[in-house]
Structure 1
Amino acid sequence: MIFSLEQASATGEVADLQKLQAAGLPVAATVVLQGLEAEFYRFANLPEQIRNAFAGVFGARLDEERLEAACAQAERLLRESYLLPERADEIMRMLPEGRLLVRYAGEGPFALEPSPQEALWAIKRLWASRWQVDSVLARAPELAPPEVPSLVQRMEGELLPDAGLSEQASRLLGRSVQLWAAAGLVLRVV
Structure 2
Amino acid sequence: MAEPGLVPLERAAAEGEVALLRRALALGFPVAPTWVAGLEEEFFRLNNLPERIGRLFQGVFGVRVDEERLLLAAEEAKRAVRESYLLPERAEAFLEALRGRGPFLLRRAGEGEAHPASTPQEALFALKRLWAGAFRVEAVLARYPDLLPPFVPVLVQEAGPPEEDPFLSLDLAKALGQEVVAYAWRGLLVRIEWSHGG
Q: 1:175 & 1:161 partners in 2: Cα distance?
A: 17
- Superposed CA deviations along residues 150-176 of structure 1, whole A, max 9, x for unmatched, are 0110015x5211111111110122211
Instruction: Find 1:123's aligned residue among 121, 127, 139.
Output: 127
Instruction: Please show how residues 1-190 of structure 1 align to structure 2 within 5 Å.
Output: 1=4, 2-34=6-38, 36-95=39-98, 97-156=101-160, 158-190=161-193
- Superposed CA deviations along residues 110-147 of structure 1, whole A, max 9, x for unmatched, are 21111111011000000000000000000011111012
Q: Which moved more, 1:163-172 or 1:43-52?
A: 163-172
How many pairs does the alignment contain?
188
- Normalized against structure 1, the TM-score is what? 0.96
Q: 1:177 & 1:121 partners in 2: Cα distance?
A: 31
Question: SS at 2:10's partner residue?
Answer: coil
Q: Which moved more, 1:68-77 or 1:93-102?
A: 93-102
Can you give the 5+ residue segments of structure 1 that lack an aligned partner in the other structure? none
Q: 2:134 & 2:64 partners in 1: Cα distance?
A: 22
**Equivalent pair of 1:102/1:119 in contact (CA under 8 Å):** yes
What is the CA distance between 1:73 and its match in structure 2? 0.6
Q: 1:137 & 1:172 partners in 2: Cα distance?
A: 39
Q: Which moved more, 1:92-101 or 1:17-26?
A: 92-101
Question: SS at 1:6's partner residue?
Answer: helix
Q: 1:110 & 1:69 partners in 2: Cα distance?
A: 25
- Superposed CA deviations along residues 77-112 of structure 1, whole A, max 9, x for unmatched, are 000111111000011111251200011111113211
Question: SS at 1:42's partner residue?
Answer: helix
Q: 1:141 & 1:86 partners in 2: Cα distance?
A: 34
Q: 2:36 & 2:55 partners in 1: Cα distance?
A: 31
